[in-house]
Amino acid sequence: MDFKLSIANEILAAAKRAFGGAELNAADVAAALELPPNPEMGDYAFPCFKLSKALRKSPMMISDALAAEIRADYLSRVKSVKGYLNFFLDRATYAERVVEAVLSQGERYGSDDSGAGKTVVLDYSSINIAKRFHIGHLSTTMIGNALYKLYQFFGWRAVGVNHLGDWGTQFGKMIAAYKRWGDHDTVARGGVDEMVKLYVRFNAEAKENEALNDEGRAWFKRIEDGDPEALEIFEWFKSVTLADAGRVYDLLGVKFDSYAGESFYNDKMGPIIEILKEKGLLKEDKGAQIVDLEPYGMPPALILRSDGATLYITRDLAAAKYRKDTYNFDKSLYVVAYQQDLHFRQLFKVLELMGYDWAKDCEHVAFGMVSYEGQSLSTREGRIVYLEDLLNEAISKSRAIIEEKSPELEDKDGVARQVGVGAVVFFALYNNRIKDIDFSWDRALNFDGETGPYVMYTHARCCSVLRKAGECDAEPDFKALDDPEAQDVVRLLEQFPETCKSALNKSEPSMITRYSVDLAQAYNKFYYEHKVMVDEQGTRKARLMLTEAAKQTIAKALDLIGLDAPERM
């Protein structure tokens, strides 16, 4: 039951009876309902000045008149206070309707079909070929994965794209290094690490021998020209990288629908450049071709270098057009760090100038930087944390904690994997995405703080209560849920759909992450204050139903941000 909408309809019906009605919209009235800062002031409050203009009455007169008119079985009372209508819910009815809604809707509780028939394309993770997957890719990967799940939850068709970094002179250098010093079996065994060694050696020796760089450029030209040998090695490098990255994606539970990277758009940039010429958008600047964006407060978008080479934006223009043509998206999201804000503003403006009205459907979902235990990351200075290593260490640390706290637990390795990986992901998604993250083991793996392990443990606690209780066939007495602790849980359960919708609209998975902590804390407070397995069967049944509803909603919240919910810990 949508209590806000129900109260809004009561307000409109009462206004019609008292004043003959007004041109008002129930959704607008519902949106104006507020949550009082103190529960003693009511569960909801409506500021009647919102109706003053339409009804041509003072807020206090409106408030007094409506308070006398409104009656509903789910309201215990309505009070008029200085132009505000304060609504007090009947706690037993409130608990009954919320808990039964959660349990009856099951996995679909919190969702709707607002995205039915719509498509969203999400560009996230975007790892580089011949480089290891590092902690810097954690945010884009998990924010993108959470948004993918959220859109599906609301009925959208989601298309996840891993826009691989697989183009540039460095790949010619990689092949030159491989041909000089590498061999197939060593690279096959060593994977990306072995390719990185070859690349590092190439750059070191190229400092002394400039001819090596010419050799690298020549190999890249062979890739561009479609030379069979160059393409075979290049494609093999990609397959080795994706196999390495695949282990990390498997740990994270992340999948993609497309791995079309930069190289995929090689033959698709020509038509884009022709359209830019036809529209009169391309201008020459010192031999290069640009789109002038100065009238829009931005530096020019460099489309072609003076030597005719394309750039990131050229490929991104081709990619955007391809995605629209292929998927006919209603939204296209780019989950990329905030440093690329100018790039995407330029990209979207150029698309708009090309006459594509769907440019308005493109959105840059920016996020902050990642540091590790107080230190910024730098590849050049050797301060890099590989994601696979981080996840494996998290699993190992979780295994040690489980061994200490729950030595009798079955499947310790499986639970350690769920908890360890979940701790890392939860940490990455806890703060507003635009904030920088400093990864800390002490905070991530704390079972008592605002962390993934804490929320997972609460889910396992709910499962334990329900296992021990067994079947209870009594009629629930929802008056047993009228205490403040139970009501806090009920109120949070009611807020889950609105939280999910807000997270979707704002591209902000942290809203669900934080919600899961709030619900876990509320349930734990209820658990410590009120015994569930009491003798009185009606009370027992109601509290078990509340526990089941909390368990189900915590599990769904965790699922939406990409975490498992262990049943035993």
Query: Residue 417 corresponds to which tokens in the numbers above?
Result: 């994997």
Strand ranges across the sheet with 282-285: 282-285, 288-291, 301-304
Q: Is residue 423 part of a domain?
A: no
User: Does any domain span residue 273?
Assistant: no
Residue where a domain stops, chosen among 254, 289, 304: 254
Task: For residue 441, name the pLDDT band (cuts at 50, 70, 90).
Answer: confident
Q: Is residue 13 part of a domain?
A: yes
Looking at the domain assignment, is residue 101 inside a domain?
no
pLDDT tens sequence across 248-285: 999 999 999 999 999 999 899 999 999 999 999 999 99
Give the end of a domain, one of 74, 89, 104. 89
Domain assignment present for residue 47? The answer is: yes
203, 236, 254: which is the final residue of a domain? Answer: 254
Does residue 213 fall inside a structural domain? Answer: yes
Which are the catalytic amino acids?
131, 134, 137
For residue 201, what are the domain limits? Answer: 168-254
Residue 527's pLDDT band, with cuts at 50, 70 and 90, is very high
Query: What pLDDT, on a 0 to 100 scale, did the predictor assign at position 22?
Result: 63
Into how many domains does the chain fold? 2
pLDDT value for 381: 53
Please report, for the domain that includes residue 15, its CATH number: 3.30.1360.70
**Which residues, 6+ apart, have CB-to-CB distance to 65 below 8 Å?**
14, 18, 19, 57
Tell me: the pLDDT tens digits for 145-204? 999 999 999 999 999 999 999 988 899 999 999 999 999 999 999 999 899 899 989 989
DSSP summary character for residue 310: B
pTM (predicted TM-score): 0.92
The answer to whether residue 414 sits within a structural domain is no
Could you read off the pLDDT of 364-414 as tens digits, one per residue? 999 998 888 777 655 545 567 888 989 999 999 999 999 999 999 999 999
Q: Which position has the token pair 């998206």? A: 329
**Sequence-separated (6 or more) residues with CB below 8 Å from residue 395:** 416, 417, 420, 421
Confidence of residue 7 (pLDDT cuts 50, 70, 90): very high
Report yes or no on 332 lying in a domain: no
Q: What ranges in 470-535 are assigned the alpha helix state H?
A: 484-505, 510-529
Q: For the chain, first and last CA: distance in Å? A: 34
Q: CA separation (Å) from 203 to 196, 224, 240?
A: 11, 21, 21
